[in-house]
Amino acid sequence: MQSFEPTSLKRMTGLGVPLWQALGTTGGPYDLPGRTYEEMMTPAGLARIAEYADWIGPDKSSVAAGSLVADAHAAGLRIGPYTFRAENQFLPAEFRRGSGANDFGDAFAEYALYYRLGVDAVVTDFPDLAVMARRG
Confidence band of 5 (pLDDT split at 50, 70, 90): very high
Domain end: 54, 82, 110, which one?
82
**Looking at the structure, do residues 32 and 51 belong to the same domain, yes or no?**
yes
Calculate the average pLDDT of the chain.
96
β-bridge pairing 20-23 and 2-3: parallel
Domain end: 67, 82, 97, which one?
82
62 pLDDT higher than 90: yes
Question: For the whole prediction, is pTM greater than 0.75?
Answer: yes
**Looking at the structure, do residues 55 and 120 belong to the same domain, yes or no?**
no
**Looking at the structure, do residues 91 and 58 belong to the same domain, yes or no?**
no
**Looking at the structure, do residues 14 and 77 belong to the same domain, yes or no?**
yes
136 pLDDT higher than 90: no
Give the C-alpha distances (Å, rounded to integers) separating 57 from 3, 19, 31, 84, 94: 9, 10, 17, 12, 24
CB 48 within 8 A of CB 32: no
**Looking at the structure, do residues 113 and 62 belong to the same domain, yes or no?**
no
Q: What is the total count of domains within the chain?
A: 2
Domain with 66 in it: 1-82
**Looking at the structure, do residues 27 and 92 belong to the same domain, yes or no?**
no
Confidence band of 35 (pLDDT split at 50, 70, 90): very high
Confidence band of 78 (pLDDT split at 50, 70, 90): very high
For residue 64, the model assigns a pLDDT of 86
**Looking at the structure, do residues 14 and 50 belong to the same domain, yes or no?**
yes
In this structure, the dihedral spanned by the alpha carbons of residues 90, 73, 10 and 38, taken in order and rounded to 10 degrees, is -50
